[in-house]
């Protein structure tokens, strides 16, 4: 779920303040659809990570943006951060 203090909300606010066209589209509701869900990711090394899943889509195309978040300070947020680090580490190991 997107909260007022989430990084996504901050990004949207910054786009609204800095781009009149984006602000007009956003306020008109022509930006696209939004769906929310809760999912559990089964990570092979970290275990289950429960996340909120927000899907933003453009109704004119098949373009979708999927955003996974966990409540700040929660065990799931810590696990999600660990999964990010594990992915970065694995990518850098493959590059060698």
Confidence grade of residue 82 (pLDDT, cut at 50, 70, 90) = very high
- Per-residue pLDDT tens digits for 21-67: 888 887 886 556 677 889 999 998 899 999 999 888 877 777 888 88
Where is pLDDT greater, at 7 or 53?
53
Beta bridge mates, 56: 34, 65
pTM: 0.56
pLDDT at residue 48 in the model: 95
pLDDT for residue 95 is more than 90: no
Sequence-distant contacts of 68-72: CB under 8 A, at least 24 apart? 68/39, 68/41, 69/1, 69/2, 69/6, 69/8, 72/5
């Amino acid at each position: 779920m997107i909260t007022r203090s989430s990084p996504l909300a901050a990004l949207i606010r910054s786009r609204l303040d800095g781009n009149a066209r984006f602000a007009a589209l956003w306020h008109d509701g022509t930006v696209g659809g939004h769906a929310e869900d809760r999912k559990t990711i089964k990570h092979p090394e970290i275990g289950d990570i429960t996340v909120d899943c927000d899907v933003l889509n453009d109704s004119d195309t098949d373009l979708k943006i999927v955003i996974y978040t966990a409540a700040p300070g929660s065990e799931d947020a810590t696990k999600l951060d660990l999964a990010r680090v594990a992915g970065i580490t694995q990518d850098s190991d493959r590059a060698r």
